[in-house]
């Protein structure tokens, strides 16, 4: 976890903590990781449920922020970037819409079957 040796971490005020959302990979829960986390009490890992797509939705949501607000903007300072992100939150929250999958389960399963069939033809 080399990122904790960088200067930004050293300058972070003592009252702040790092919250990390991770998938439920067993490597994130091994003995060496648990030992490391005990030595770094300001770092907290949160795991998504096994087999869930919750983290994918979060990634999708951040992707929308990047696509619709950050990439098309020009920012002269970090404060301007933060302001633009906060404006996006305000606009998005003023008329929230649920994320809806665009494919039904049968379509997704059929695609998986097609992919598996194409992989089998390679062997």
The model carries a pTM of 0.43
The ranges assigned to domains in the chain are: 16-49, 53-123
| CB crowding 69-100: b at 16 or more within 10 Å, else e | beeeeeeeeeeeeeebbeebeeeeeeeeeeee
| Amino acid 83: pLDDT | 93
pLDDT digits (tens, 9 = 90+) for 14-57: 888 888 887 766 666 788 888 888 888 888 888 776 656 666 77
């Amino acid at each position: 976890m080399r990122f904790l040796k960088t200067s930004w971490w050293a300058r972070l005020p003592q009252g702040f903590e790092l919250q990390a959302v991770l998938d439920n990979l067993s490597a994130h829960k091994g003995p060496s990781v648990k030992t490391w986390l005990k030595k770094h009490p300001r770092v907290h890992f949160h795991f998504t449920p096994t087999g869930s797509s919750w983290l994918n939705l979060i990634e999708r949501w951040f992707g929308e922020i990047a696509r619709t607000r950050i990439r098309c903007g020009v920012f002269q300072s970090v404060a301007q970037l933060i302001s633009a992100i906060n404006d996006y939150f305000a606009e998005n929250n003023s008329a929230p819409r649920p994320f809806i999958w665009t494919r039904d389960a049968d379509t997704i399963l059929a695609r998986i079957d097609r992919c598996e069939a194409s992989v089998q033809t390679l062997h």
